[in-house]
């Protein structure tokens, strides 16, 4: 198991299971990677303390992944017009050596990617432009499902772990939540001609405010030209019934994150329509309850996209 001190990125305690620590790099390699002159690196070290932490006089300088991460933050801040002093201060603060002892819960983030580490760092630094940029890059690179599962969720879990342990980071959770919401809405193509004649209704269970996964699902379905109707957080049961009567959706997806909001009775209150409406229960909030027979449980995003598409438009050839 990795020891935290040598982990590639200790900011949010994000260490990948079984990961081989990245080697440290000599000045020339770091200069090449950042596209700056070696002399600049020496100046940044001398003037701002942005040098190799483990360097001993007389030995060749070697930059650890943490050292390089700080330089990358310095460079990104410079690119955004900060003065060298401001950029250095930001980089040192945003990637400070962890003084706070890390609670066990946040040390292991299975499946976290390099982008996830970058997102964790930027979120903790409350660096909205970098958070937004990283989300755009992740979605462009691998799509909304991979961005959610491999980049966003590991960081949400790490932030939640820190909140559960110390009560800290609520501001980080909210910032991340709003940035992900905006990124997923921006990644949702407007459908003029959806493949499904009747919409897929997406909503949270009554009082349930964890709606983020529904925005990811909507973006993923829209990218397959499956049209949805987003009703969002905490939809009262009678409003759900009214929406079904008015739109006769092909399917209903109800999200419950918290067990206290996973009450199966809400499905019984859905009125029958002339045309059949398939119902799905998604989220950990339904985990501990028996869902009505006509309701299908979906446990993963990718599976949900496939299942819902298959139900409302048939499997794409
Ligand atoms: C963002 C967030 C919020 C935001 C939600 C904003 C929004 N628009 O969604 C806000 C700030 C509003 C919020 C509020 C609260 N929250 Co909150 N929140 C979170 C947080 C950080 C992320 C939620 C999320 O989207 N997770 C992503 C989930 C879905 O990922 P996952 O669990 O890894 O997913 C698994 C499955 O669900 C599935 N999956 C993932 N995505 C998808 C998508 C689809 C379509 C499908 C089918 C499956 C699927 O695959 C995964 C592997 O099995 C979680 C912590 C966490 N990591 O979940 C806390 C968390 C859920 N919240 C918690 C709490 C306690 C609250 C509050 C009660 C706090 C308070 N006192 O006010 C309120 C409740 C408000 C309410 N009425 O619902 C606790 C719940 C503890 C518990 N009992 O279960 C958590 C776990 C934090 C913690 N560490 O304790 N929260």
Q: Where are the domains of the chain?
A: 18-94, 114-186, 200-313
Please state, in angstroms and rounded to a whole number, the distance separating the CA atoms of residues 74 and 143. 29
Q: Which alpha helices (H) appear in 170-298, and where do they start and end?
A: 170-186, 212-222, 237-247, 265-268
Whose CA is closest to 217, among 185, 192, 195, 194? Answer: 185
Least confident piece of the model among 54-58, 111-115, 122-126, 190-194:
54-58
pTM: 0.76
Least confident piece of the model among 64-78, 91-105, 190-204, 213-227:
91-105
Q: Strand pairing of 295-298 and 278-282?
A: parallel
Q: What is the mean pLDDT of residues 310-317?
A: 76
Task: Classify 18-94 by CATH class.
Answer: mainly alpha
Tokens of 29: 């390699």
pLDDT > 90 fraction of the chain, expressed in percent and rounded: 51
Task: Classify 200-313 by CATH class.
Answer: alpha beta
Residue given tokens 């432009």 in the structure block: 129
Pocket probe for ligand 1: among 210, 296, 305, the residue whose CB has the most ligand atoms within 8 Å is: 210
Q: What lines the ligand 1 site, CB under 6 Å?
A: 153, 156-157, 159-160, 163-164, 173-174, 177, 207-213, 217, 257-258, 282-284, 298-301, 304
Tokens of 82: 């900060």
State how far the alpha carbon of 110 is from the alpha carbons of 32, 105, 113, 307, in Å: 31, 12, 9, 26
Question: For residue 57, what pLDDT band results from cuts at 50, 70 and 90?
Answer: low
Is the pLDDT score of 316 beyond 60? no
Residue given tokens 């390099």 in the structure block: 114
The predicted structure's pLDDT at residue 107: 43
In CATH, 114-186 is 1.10.1240.10: yes
Question: For residue 22, what pLDDT band results from cuts at 50, 70 and 90?
Answer: low
CA 36 to ligand 1 centroid distance, Å: 42
CA 31 to ligand 1 centroid distance, Å: 41
CA 185 to ligand 1 centroid distance, Å: 19
Pocket probe for ligand 1: among 14, 116, 151, 160, the residue whose CB has the most ligand atoms within 8 Å is: 160
Q: What is the mean pLDDT of residues 272-292?
A: 94
Question: For residue 265, what pLDDT band results from cuts at 50, 70 and 90?
Answer: very high
């Amino acid at each position: 198991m990795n020891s935290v001190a040598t982990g590639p990125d200790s900011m949010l305690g994000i260490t990948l299971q079984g990961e081989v620590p990245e080697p440290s790099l000599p000045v020339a390699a770091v200069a090449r990677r950042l596209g700056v002159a070696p002399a600049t690196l020496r100046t940044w070290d001398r003037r701002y303390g942005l040098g190799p932490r483990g360097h001993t006089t007389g030995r060749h300088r070697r930059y650890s992944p943490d050292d390089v991460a700080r330089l990358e933050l310095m460079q990104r801040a410079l690119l955004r017009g900060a003065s060298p002093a401001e950029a250095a201060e930001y980089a040192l603060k945003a990637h400070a050596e962890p003084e706070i002892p890390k609670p066990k819960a946040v040390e292991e983030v299975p499946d976290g990617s390099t982008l996830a580490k970058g997102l964790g760092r930027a979120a903790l630094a409350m660096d909205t432009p970098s958070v937004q940029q990283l989300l755009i890059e992740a979605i462009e690179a691998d799509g909304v499902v991979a961005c959610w599962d491999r980049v966003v969720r590991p960081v949400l879990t790490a932030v939640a772990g820190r909140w559960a342990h110390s009560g800290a980071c609520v501001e980080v959770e909210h910032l991340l939540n709003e940035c992900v919401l905006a990124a997923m809405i921006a990644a949702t193509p407007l459908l003029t001609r959806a493949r499904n004649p009747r919409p897929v209704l997406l909503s949270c269970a009554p009082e349930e405010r964890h709606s983020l996964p529904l925005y990811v699902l909507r973006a993923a379905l829209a990218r397959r030209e499956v049209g949805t109707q987003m009703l969002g957080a905490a939809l009262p049961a009678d409003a759900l019934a009214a929406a079904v009567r008015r739109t006769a959706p092909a399917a209903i997806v109800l999200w419950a994150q918290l067990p206290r909001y996973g009450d199966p009775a809400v499905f019984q209150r859905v009125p029958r329509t002339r045309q059949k409406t398939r119902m799905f229960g998604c989220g950990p909030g339904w985990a501990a309850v028996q869902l009505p027979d006509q309701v299908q449980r979906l446990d993963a995003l990718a599976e949900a996209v496939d299942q819902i598409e298959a139900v409302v438009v048939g499997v794409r050839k």
